[in-house]
Amino acid sequence: MYNNDRVASWNVPLRTQIHKIDFEHGTTTGKRVIRVDGVEILRRDWMFKLVGKEVFKFGTTINVEAIGNFAYEYSLTVNGKTYNKFKEEQNKKLQSWEMTIYGHDWRIVLDKDSMEIWANGNIIKKEAEFVDNGTETHFELGTTRCRIVTISSGNRK
């Protein structure tokens, strides 16, 4: 599936899922191949310019820069932010859990800004209630009743 031209790989966390981005760069031919979750979304077989940018899905750019004779540096930006900055912001904004319930794998994501809950890439119905020192958010995964408990630190900031 992949050959030895793969030079970079990133895992990009979004609400719906974590996307794996792989980048191939042929340093003699200029070939560029981008795969998202194993699916090829871009291929350029012959390019005379070995450096530059490739823009693709969800506001993402791969930048290829020369850092010496036949040495290259590859960087990823998502929505105009460096990969590390984007990942840091997503980690603050999203809380996620992975679990198996009765043999079924689930990835649950709580968007702390909107308080939406996503299960395996789909937004799900929920009910929230205030309880002593926080909130409880109730939802179902299949036939299993679940809840997320948020406890106040007592610090208004």
Q: Which helix (H) or strand (E) holds 90?
A: helix 83-93
- Mean pLDDT (whole number) for 93-111: 91
What is the arithmetic mean of pLDDT over 8-17? 86
Structure tokens given for 69: 């004779």
Do residue 67 and residue 106 come from a single domain? no
Average pLDDT, the chain: 88
pLDDT confidence of residue 1? 47
Q: Is residue 156 part of a domain?
A: no
With 0-12 CB in 10 A as exposed, 13-18 as middle and 19+ as buried, what is 51?
middle
Q: Are residues 108 and 141 in the same domain?
A: yes
Tell me: pLDDT of 157 over 70.
no
Q: Predicted confidence band at 125 (pLDDT cuts at 50, 70, 90)?
A: very high
- The CATH number that applies at residue 104 is 2.40.128.180
Both 121 and 71 in a single domain?
no
8-state DSSP, 15: S
Contacts with 66 (C-beta within 8 Å, 6 or more apart), sequence order: 50, 51, 72, 73
pLDDT of residue 104 exceeding 90 = yes
Which pLDDT score is estimated for 18? 86
Q: Find tokens 């009765």 and name the residue.
A: 102
* pTM reported for the whole predicted model: 0.74
